[in-house]
Amino acid sequence: MEQESLKRKNAAPLLQYRRAAPAETTAAPHGVTGSRDTGNEKKPACTPIPKFHIRCVGGGEFIDDPSVMNCPQGHDSLLRAEYSCRRLVLSPYSGIFRYLCWLPVTQPLVPSGGPVTLGGTALGRELGLANLSISFSGYFPECGADLTTGSFKELEALATLQRLRETGGKIPVVASAGNTGRAFAGIAARCGMPVVIVVPETSRHLLWTTQESRDVYLVAVKGDYSDAIAVATALSSVPGCVPEGGAKNIARRDAMGTVMLDATVTAGRMPEYYFQAVGSGTGAIAAWEASLRLRNDGRYGDRLPILHLAQNEPFTPMVSAWRDRRRQIIPEKDLPDAGRAVSQVMSNVLTNRNPSYAIRGGLFDALADTDGVMYSVPNAEGYAALRLVRDTEGIDLDPAAAIAAAALVQAAERDLIPRTARILLNLTGGGYERIGEEFPQYLIEPAFTLSPGEPREALIQDLKEWIVNHG
């Protein structure tokens, strides 16, 4: 069986290949002080080079306060980390912390998982795409995928919690449609770090951990994802708490960028095309930023991967705006009946009404910089892709990952990309059936359930008391 060869028999050689990095990239652990490739140039002994600086993409100025997420000068822009280490140096750690030199932390959070890059895939053969690689972030131990929360949101949770640990230990407040919350809950449980999570009540079933945790304060909101975001924003100003930050969080983006780094290091060069489903757009922005760093590195090619991104019909505001090459999303035009659209998609995590699209350094800029393409994927195609990946790779996908796979199927069927092109498909989650078989699952009970229009004072007071005991 062809697919069997990918799933189990070749697991060991595959892992060996993954770890066979280009010689120049294998190096000692990277510490707090980065090193520029400046040869033997002598530096003063007492002035270590900061590992990274933060720069405003819109205005170009450096930001002194590393804790801010918005430009102090008021630019509507993402802030971006610029690492002193221009060339990618691999660290001897597992998971995302193999790429510690391009993460805004000084130490790894262990144990940690990471993305896994698979080449020579049965899916590629089925679609007639000779050079398709898959990055999988979920649970499938035969190929080294060991994220027991089942989603690439675990990558961002790892880096975000480690960064908070290194910068003062405040408690992050996370708004989530389900997967991000579960990822933060899982890492919080593993590390004993407190976290506040706000989800729509309809997503409660997605909030479980594989080990018991008393460190999660879960708020269920009777509303949709946007309502959860509004409540999380209010809670993040409670003393001792900080907003997780979403796309504005550089730790989150650079952790997600390890998908592009791992695929590139594995292949020895950047892919030509990158496929992913997008809700907030953060993962795709992260992939683009990682490719900018790789281009600047100089060893992995000088052409940025072209972003091919998908949304789930009928919730497709970025598809609509990008079709017109418009930076601004116009709700009346791009998302005329948002409430109904949210209720009709197969992947709720893709229904962010305020994605990081227009902001400088956001998804519009990423698409423009790479001459990107947006796909609109109906549920029927998503479910067909779900079955296709299960049949070819043996993985039960998260619905969002199925939407990405369906976009690739569209591209193959319509000949939108050359058959021999080097393609990276980011499958952002899955393996839930295996997780359920191999681990206990503890459903997290809400500490508080909030009804529409209900005053938040009682919730805030309850949270303050919880912080006294857990903060």
Nearer to Zn ion, 59 or 471 (CB): 59
**Residue 56 or 164 with smaller CB distance to Zn ion:** 56
| Closer Cβ to Zn ion, 75 or 87, answer by number | 75
**Of 71-79, 148-156, 348-356, 373-381: span binding Zn ion (CB under 5 A):** 71-79
Task: Find the binder of Zn ion among 71, 263, 306, 406 (CB under 5 A).
Answer: 71
**What is the distance between the alpha carbons of residues 384 and 380, in angstroms, rounded to a whole number?**
6
Q: Which residue is nearest to Zn ion (CB)?
A: 56
Closer by beta carbon to Zn ion, 75 or else 353 = 75
Among 6, 14, 54, 56, binds Zn ion (CB under 5 A): 56
Does 73 help bind Zn ion (rule: CB under 5 A)?
A: yes
Stretch that binds Zn ion, among 55-63, 153-161, 175-183, 318-326 (CB under 5 A): 55-63
Token pair in block for residue 145: 């995928």
Site for Zn ion in 75-114 (CB under 5 A): 75
Cα angle for residues 178, 191, 469 (degrees, 5° grid): 85
Tell me: does residue 471 bind Zn ion (CB under 5 A): no
Considering only 40-48, 54-62, 245-253, 385-393, which stretch makes contact with Zn ion by CB under 5 A? 54-62
Mutual orientation of helices 282-297 and 258-267 as an angle, nearest 10°? 40
Instruction: Out of 29, 31, 50, 59, point to the residue binding Zn ion (CB under 5 A).
Output: 59
Closest CB 414 distance from Zn ion, rounded Å: 40
Name the amino acid, one letter, at 261: L
How many residues in the shown chain lie near Zn ion by CB under 5 A? 5
Shortest distance, position 249 Cβ to Zn ion, whole Å: 17
**Does residue 441 belong to the site contacting Zn ion (CB under 5 A)?**
no
Interface ranges with Zn ion (CB under 5 A): 56, 59, 71, 73, 75
